[in-house]
Chains A and B, each alone.
Chain A
């Protein structure tokens, strides 16, 4: 059975496929090819939702993505999709959706009581209210009422895709101008991509009754699409270009018309772009213009032509241009009785008027709609002379089609950098392009007549193809067009007089003419400020139908020309885009950022390590078999290293090989401590400064040959150090012949530390090659050799304070070497240890990490004065002399010992002189429980004037209400003479 507002014939819906759907638990039917909005209208459903602030009943206003009112929630439940524009979402069998912003129901909405109160609050009321006695009294209620829709609890199963495209010419918009532009560009051999946000091509052509070159516009449309596909043009429907960024455009492909798993984000680079984005019909503000049944005139036409749906049986049309009369003819043919046409202009000289009057249509020139009557649906209008003379007249209707003209869609043009100028005849801003690569065309440039739009599109396509380097071709003859005449718009923004609190400018956010007047009275002058203060155009529709009328009304109240006031600047995206689409592939678990593995990843997991992210790396924090808790395992591992030995994976250390005829001279410029003085086979601890004298990083420099060095960096600074080296090699030291190569991934580093280290290595390393080096290597010596025919560098260095060696081996040789060390070390009690134990060992010894080298400390702050004295001038050394680095308030590295053996120290705690002091003297950089000392110890940066040893300070952590007394000591807490590592 046909729904009561569906015409028996016409439209492009598939009447052979009935679709059942549910709206607010009401079962209804439509056809395949319907949108949710057209299906609802076909069933006579006009009440769709409630407005944001005032909870006023709302109906369908437009027929496209610029819809401010008809937003619903699909599939209510854990996976629901909120804020779906019903005017673009296609109908499918079994769809369930619900209205939003109402409780308990759409017809009986208790929250509208709050709305009644809200209507009394003008613009920006939330800046002036809800403060007494406290905001928290109002917050739960407002949070419950605010917003649109509710987010789902469960996301999509498959993250949206991304795709990168490039082409010669990108055409945005698949209407008359866009199709012409695509054909013109393709005919010149350009690679063309056309994006159209609607699910089908054609734009206004889909419901215009025009002829083009002797063919009906619908036929021309079909032929054009076929020709374009044959010419190799990539036609992307359901794809909206949402943003222009320099030379990149982002497009959202949403085949379903709403967020779903098929969504795709397209990154498009084009040599030239044609912006055939069309023009959006705009509203007029009059009392009651928010009632369900008040729609844009174009929407009434589109529902009739495309879906064979009558938005009502008896219509009043209210518009300020000639097209309203042609529209009236078409609507009469679609079965809608036209009760009246209300036109604020003088009677135009059009033959169609007489025909309409003969058909019983009342023509009301120089008149306006003063007020709309009705509650949940329009029931009639009050019409009066525009100047207020005479007696108002009541006219019954069940639908009101209103149109204030058209606003060229400027969003992408503005984002592309084009200027705008105001066209007084059109009553709109149009883009001004002097660029051959960004070309607006058609209605987007104010060419509202079909013939002009076709010609404009053709010219734009030709220019774009030429800009993309394609050959010019002879100009095409203009199409022969028979269509609606030029609209002859008279700019008209609001009905003067009447209740301004009921004249809505922005339907979604309940912004009225009264709000704009209030904003001006309160001193707002700029459109950007008024927009934000009143919420004009900040909804999901982004002010597409309300922005220009709002600016025009503001101009009237300011007494300025509209050209001077302007419109607010549109920023991307041009339509709502789900965050999941922007995340793309990164929305899937574990994909937000890369994970880097050392060559020993599998072995750590097999050994029961708790692997945790350290930057991008996965590293063992501790080994689960070593204790029931983190603290217990870390303490066990640290004690075992000091008592017997331990193995640690230090492969994440940055490693950079520097070589070339001037490598030594180059490194002398980079580091304190003069690397050129290092002997071959020796290593030295060196510090690198930034250009401002602050410490960038520390590490070891190994001299492999006369002009060949290996640098180690801290894990977190590896990329920054390489960048620093490459920059200076290319710029400040360009005359030096040197190369820097990152070899971090080429070499694994296994640290073997503890008193039984040497005997372990004797078992694992072939004696023929390694016995002598093992016996003879001094602290900071290294030896190069092989292990199982793979290169191995053995460096004697320690970060734990114990006798220790670093085994630098080829990455693929690391797993068997690790297993050999584990196997041979186990009988002697040698175990693997993780980051927590490493931290205990190095803090006990006062060794530095990024906690201390935090980018804000000089070498003096780290007590490296001797290193500075011994160094030749290098990068950053010049600025070390500035007085500010030597002031008493500068921090200096100290050790801390907790006064109470049971107390704990927290890294990050502020250091204060006494418990109630509020002046910070410094902060705790690192803190651990020390098994060796039996109490908490740490490192800190403390103001020099307070850094005397044995001074008492308090480590304050107000967030956790912990205040720990501590004593200032030397940074080295354990084995201060270093005997243990010199065994």
Chain B
């Protein structure tokens, strides 16, 4: 197993946003608090990135369709943002050690599985995954971020 591997993937994404004033108790995908991540076997994932804001990756939009509809009825908006996000998968035995060069992973993900962070001045979503981490970043940032993370291994 490599010490650190960083792969870039393009993933179909939707963003679900519910105004905080309209956040119902159970209409949104799951009752998990912000910072939670729900993953499916086919790679789909729902990242609860902040109060009233979810990132639905892959086929999560289909899997969470009833929750999404309920959220929209409550005043939420669903946007197809495919192309906005690229996912950098950081895996390997030294994945956390490598990321620790740039931020305090333990502190940031204390009690949660995803969090918005800034890595090398790039706005990013950090998420824990099996055997590593995901860095979701905007397409325009991804090339430089990937090169910089790779160069610093």
Confirm or deny: A496 has a beta carbon within 8 angstroms of a beta carbon on chain B.
no
Which of the candidate stretches A732-740, A918-926, A930-938, A972-980 sits at the interface with the other chain? A732-740
Beta-carbon contact of A730 and B143 below 8 Å: no
Interface flags for B131-153 (1: CB within 8 Å of A; 0: not) read 00000001111011100100110
Distance A617 CA – B139 CA, assembled complex (angstroms): 12
Beta-carbon contact of A811 and B144 below 8 Å: no
With most chain B CB atoms within 10 A of its CB, the pick from A596, A599, A747 is A596
Within 8 A of B (CB), among A706-765: 708, 729-730, 734-741, 743-747
Beta-carbon contact of A743 and B152 below 8 Å: no
Distance A3 CA – B105 CA, assembled complex (angstroms): 51
CB-CB under 8 A from B15, the residues of chain A are: 741
Distance A162 CA – B140 CA, assembled complex (angstroms): 25
CB nearest to B81 among chain A residues: A746
Within the complex, the shortest CB–CB distance from A721 to chain B, in Å, comes to: 15
Within the complex, the shortest CB–CB distance from A438 to chain B, in Å, comes to: 19
Residue among B20, B82, B102, B140 making CB contact with A164, cutoff 8 Å: B102
Within 8 A of A (CB), among B111-139: 120-122, 138-139
CB-CB under 8 A from B120, the residues of chain A are: 585, 591, 594
**Could you tell me how many residues of chain A have their Cβ less than 8 Å away from some Cβ of chain B?**
44
Beta-carbon contact of A739 and B84 below 8 Å: no
Within 8 A of B (CB), among A695-709: 708
Interface flags for B70-88 (1: CB within 8 Å of A; 0: not) read 0000011101111111000
Beta-carbon contact of A743 and B81 below 8 Å: yes
CB-CB under 8 A from B80, the residues of chain A are: 791
Distance A873 CA – B71 CA, assembled complex (angstroms): 32
Beta-carbon contact of A585 and B84 below 8 Å: no
Beta-carbon contact of B139 and A594 below 8 Å: no
Confirm or deny: A149 has a beta carbon within 8 angstroms of a beta carbon on chain B.
no
Distance A791 CA – B79 CA, assembled complex (angstroms): 13
Given A741-B77, A741-B79, A811-B84: A594 touches B19 (CB 8 Å cut-off) = no
Confirm or deny: A222 has a beta carbon within 8 angstroms of a beta carbon on chain B.
no
Confirm or deny: A548 has a beta carbon within 8 angstroms of a beta carbon on chain B.
no
Beta-carbon contact of B145 and A594 below 8 Å: yes
Beta-carbon contact of A739 and B102 below 8 Å: no
Distance A657 CA – B21 CA, assembled complex (angstroms): 18
Confirm or deny: A812 has a beta carbon within 8 angstroms of a beta carbon on chain B.
yes
Confirm or deny: B103 has a beta carbon within 8 angstroms of a beta carbon on chain A.
yes
Beta-carbon contact of B144 and A595 below 8 Å: yes
Distance A165 CA – B106 CA, assembled complex (angstroms): 8
Beta-carbon contact of B139 and A165 below 8 Å: no
Confirm or deny: B18 has a beta carbon within 8 angstroms of a beta carbon on chain A.
yes
Beta-carbon contact of A745 and B75 below 8 Å: no
Given A585-B152, A810-B83: A166 touches B139 (CB 8 Å cut-off) = no
Beta-carbon contact of B106 and A594 below 8 Å: no
CB-CB under 8 A from A598, the residues of chain B are: 140
Confirm or deny: A779 has a beta carbon within 8 angstroms of a beta carbon on chain B.
no
Confirm or deny: A163 has a beta carbon within 8 angstroms of a beta carbon on chain B.
yes
Within the complex, the shortest CB–CB distance from A541 to chain B, in Å, comes to: 31
Distance A594 CA – B143 CA, assembled complex (angstroms): 10
Confirm or deny: B39 has a beta carbon within 8 angstroms of a beta carbon on chain A.
no
Confirm or deny: B52 has a beta carbon within 8 angstroms of a beta carbon on chain A.
yes
Beta-carbon contact of A593 and B52 below 8 Å: no
Distance A591 CA – B80 CA, assembled complex (angstroms): 32
Confirm or deny: B45 has a beta carbon within 8 angstroms of a beta carbon on chain A.
no
Beta-carbon contact of B21 and A735 below 8 Å: yes
Within 8 A of A (CB), among B3-43: 10, 15, 17-22
Distance A591 CA – B19 CA, assembled complex (angstroms): 37
Interface flags for B38-63 (1: CB within 8 Å of A; 0: not) read 00000000000000100000000000
Distance A741 CA – B13 CA, assembled complex (angstroms): 13
Beta-carbon contact of B84 and A746 below 8 Å: yes
Confirm or deny: A560 has a beta carbon within 8 angstroms of a beta carbon on chain B.
no
Interface contact tally, CB-CB below 8 A: 112
Beta-carbon contact of A164 and B139 below 8 Å: no
Beta-carbon contact of A659 and B84 below 8 Å: no
Beta-carbon contact of A745 and B77 below 8 Å: no
Confirm or deny: A661 has a beta carbon within 8 angstroms of a beta carbon on chain B.
yes
CB-CB under 8 A from B145, the residues of chain A are: 594
Within the complex, the shortest CB–CB distance from B113 to chain A, in Å, comes to: 18
Interface flags for A653-671 (1: CB within 8 Å of B; 0: not) read 0000101110000000000
Residue among B18, B79, B139 making CB contact with A657, cutoff 8 Å: B79
Distance A657 CA – B103 CA, assembled complex (angstroms): 31
CB-CB under 8 A from B22, the residues of chain A are: 737
Beta-carbon contact of B75 and A737 below 8 Å: yes
CB-CB under 8 A from B10, the residues of chain A are: 812
Beta-carbon contact of A166 and B18 below 8 Å: no
CB-CB under 8 A from A674, the residues of chain B are: none
CB-CB under 8 A from A982, the residues of chain B are: none
Within the complex, the shortest CB–CB distance from B78 to chain A, in Å, comes to: 9
Distance A659 CA – B82 CA, assembled complex (angstroms): 18
Distance A883 CA – B29 CA, assembled complex (angstroms): 52
CB nearest to A191 among chain B residues: B106
Distance A730 CA – B52 CA, assembled complex (angstroms): 12
Distance A812 CA – B81 CA, assembled complex (angstroms): 11
Confirm or deny: A642 has a beta carbon within 8 angstroms of a beta carbon on chain B.
no
Confirm or deny: B66 has a beta carbon within 8 angstroms of a beta carbon on chain A.
no
Beta-carbon contact of A745 and B148 below 8 Å: no
Beta-carbon contact of A164 and B100 below 8 Å: yes
Beta-carbon contact of A734 and B21 below 8 Å: yes
With most chain B CB atoms within 10 A of its CB, the pick from A163, A736, A739, A744 is A739
Given A162-B101, A594-B120, A812-B10: A739 touches B76 (CB 8 Å cut-off) = yes
Distance A269 CA – B108 CA, assembled complex (angstroms): 11
CB-CB under 8 A from A812, the residues of chain B are: 10, 82-83
Interface flags for A572-610 (1: CB within 8 Å of B; 0: not) read 000000000000010010010111111101000000000
Beta-carbon contact of A267 and B104 below 8 Å: yes
Given A164-B104, A269-B107: A739 touches B52 (CB 8 Å cut-off) = yes
Within the complex, the shortest CB–CB distance from A503 to chain B, in Å, comes to: 49
Distance A737 CA – B72 CA, assembled complex (angstroms): 12
Residue among B19, B79, B148 making CB contact with A737, cutoff 8 Å: B19
CB-CB under 8 A from B75, the residues of chain A are: 660-661, 737
CB-CB under 8 A from A595, the residues of chain B are: 143-144
CB nearest to A666 among chain B residues: B19
Given A166-B104, A591-B148: A745 touches B139 (CB 8 Å cut-off) = yes
Beta-carbon contact of B77 and A597 below 8 Å: no
Residue among B85, B101, B102, B104 making CB contact with A269, cutoff 8 Å: B104
Beta-carbon contact of A162 and B17 below 8 Å: no
Given A588-B151, A741-B15, A745-B140: A594 touches B121 (CB 8 Å cut-off) = yes
CB-CB under 8 A from A740, the residues of chain B are: 17
CB nearest to B84 among chain A residues: A746
Given A617-B140, A739-B76: A163 touches B107 (CB 8 Å cut-off) = no
Confirm or deny: A161 has a beta carbon within 8 angstroms of a beta carbon on chain B.
yes
CB nearest to B19 among chain A residues: A737
With most chain A CB atoms within 10 A of its CB, the pick from B15, B22, B77, B82 is B77
Within the complex, the shortest CB–CB distance from B123 to chain A, in Å, comes to: 9
CB-CB under 8 A from A810, the residues of chain B are: 82-83
CB nearest to B105 among chain A residues: A164
Distance A746 CA – B107 CA, assembled complex (angstroms): 31
Within 8 A of B (CB), among A415-435: none
With most chain B CB atoms within 10 A of its CB, the pick from A164, A598, A661 is A164
Beta-carbon contact of B102 and A744 below 8 Å: no
Given A165-B100, A659-B77, A730-B20: A597 touches B83 (CB 8 Å cut-off) = no
CB-CB under 8 A from A593, the residues of chain B are: 121
CB-CB under 8 A from A267, the residues of chain B are: 104
19 contacts between A and B (CB under 8 A): A161-B101, A164-B100, A164-B102, A165-B100, A267-B104, A269-B104, A591-B148, A594-B120, A594-B144, A596-B141, A659-B17, A660-B77, A661-B75, A737-B21, A739-B76, A741-B17, A744-B138, A746-B81, A811-B83
The 6 closest A-B pairs by CB, nearest first: A746-B84, A739-B17, A811-B83, A659-B77, A164-B104, A745-B138
Besides the contacts A161-B101, A267-B104, A597-B140, what 6 more A-B pairs have beta carbons closer than 8 Å? A585-B101, A585-B148, A594-B144, A596-B141, A737-B21, A739-B77
